[in-house]
Amino acid sequence: MSAKPSEESAPAEKPKSKKMLIIIIAAVVVLALVGGGAAFLLMKKKPVDEEGHGEAEKAAPTVVHKAPDPKKPPTYLPMDAMVVNLADPGGGRFVQLGITLKLDDPKTADTMKQYMPSIRSAVLIAVSLRTADELLAAEGKEKLTKAIIRAASEQLGYEVEDEEEEAVPPAKKKKKRNLPPLPVEAVLYSSFIVQ
């Protein structure tokens, strides 16, 4: 008679396992729906403003990079490290910079070496006009980079836009001047310490 109790318990376990299977399937379906909804929301396009830019496009600054030309490697001109007093009240803050200029061609590097004392002076002045708070912010570093490009290019006789002209949106500029491309393509920092 011991065989009968085990036979009675076996049919009772089958309905429990079917209920458990249904619950598991229902949970998987609910999770799949929630995951699909979340994926849809994340992949959904951002709203577009009047100019046709999405929110992600407005937040990120536009940076134009030229594709490297394998036949013409870039030319770099390192400058001596410099320590510059900043324009903070009290005058106790300074920045230590290691700068390398990326140039359009090797001939420009030779010319810049001849003008290096005046270029270095112009860069020192451009840096000294900034405060520590400005240089610690990403936007401040971008403005400094543009100021260094302008300062170095001016010393070679290139006509450059002023900082104020550059800040005006293109739609509001009265007349855009056709300026030649500047010889300095980028400013690379090997050290940037604000104290």
- Which pLDDT band, with edges at 50, 70 and 90, does 172 fall under? low
Topology at the third CATH level for domain 69-171+180-194: Tetrahydropterin Synthase; Chain A (3.30.479)
Q: Which residues contact 14 (CB under 8 A, 6 or more apart)?
A: none
Q: Given the structure tokens 């998987």, which residue do they identify?
A: 28
When pLDDT is cut at 50, 70 and 90, the band that residue 160 belongs to is confident
pLDDT for 40: 72
- Identity (one letter) of the amino acid at 119? I
Domain ranges for the chain: 69-171+180-194
Helical pair 116-128 and 106-114, crossing angle rounded to 10 deg: 80
3-state secondary structure of 69: coil
Give the pLDDT of residue 56: 47
**Is 97 within 8 Å of 134 (Cβ atoms)?**
no
Predicted confidence band of residue 131 (pLDDT cuts 50, 70, 90): very high
Q: How far is CA 45 from CA 13, 36, 40, 77, 96, in A?
A: 50, 16, 10, 43, 43
Instruction: Indicate whether 152 pLDDT > 80.
Output: yes
Q: Got the DSSP string for 73-127?
A: --EEEE---EEEE---TTS--EEEEEEEEEES-HHHHHHHHHTHHHHHHHHHHHH
SS3 at position 149: helix
d(CA 115, CA 98): 18
**pLDDT tens for each residue of 26-41:** 888 888 888 777 777 7
Tens digits of residue pLDDT in 60-93: 444 455 566 667 788 999 999 999 999 998 878 9
Q: How confident is the model over 151-180, as a mean pLDDT?
A: 70
| Per-residue confidence (pLDDT) for residue 181, from 0 to 100 | 85
User: What is the pLDDT confidence band of residue 169, given thresholds at 50, 70 and 90?
Assistant: low
In this prediction, residue 158 carries a pLDDT of 87
pLDDT exceeds cutoff 90 at 117: yes
**Residue partners of 133: CB distance under 8 A and separation at least 6:** 88, 140
CB 134 within 8 A of CB 140: yes
Q: CA angle at residue 24 from 19 to 25, to 5 degrees?
A: 100
To the question of pTM greater than 0.95 for the whole model, the response is no
> Tell me, what's the pLDDT at 14?
62
Mean pLDDT of all residues in the chain? Answer: 79
Mean pLDDT value across residues 45-73: 56
Question: Residues 18, 19, 24, 27: is their CA dihedral positive or negative?
Answer: positive
Cβ neighbours around 26 below 10 Å, total: 10
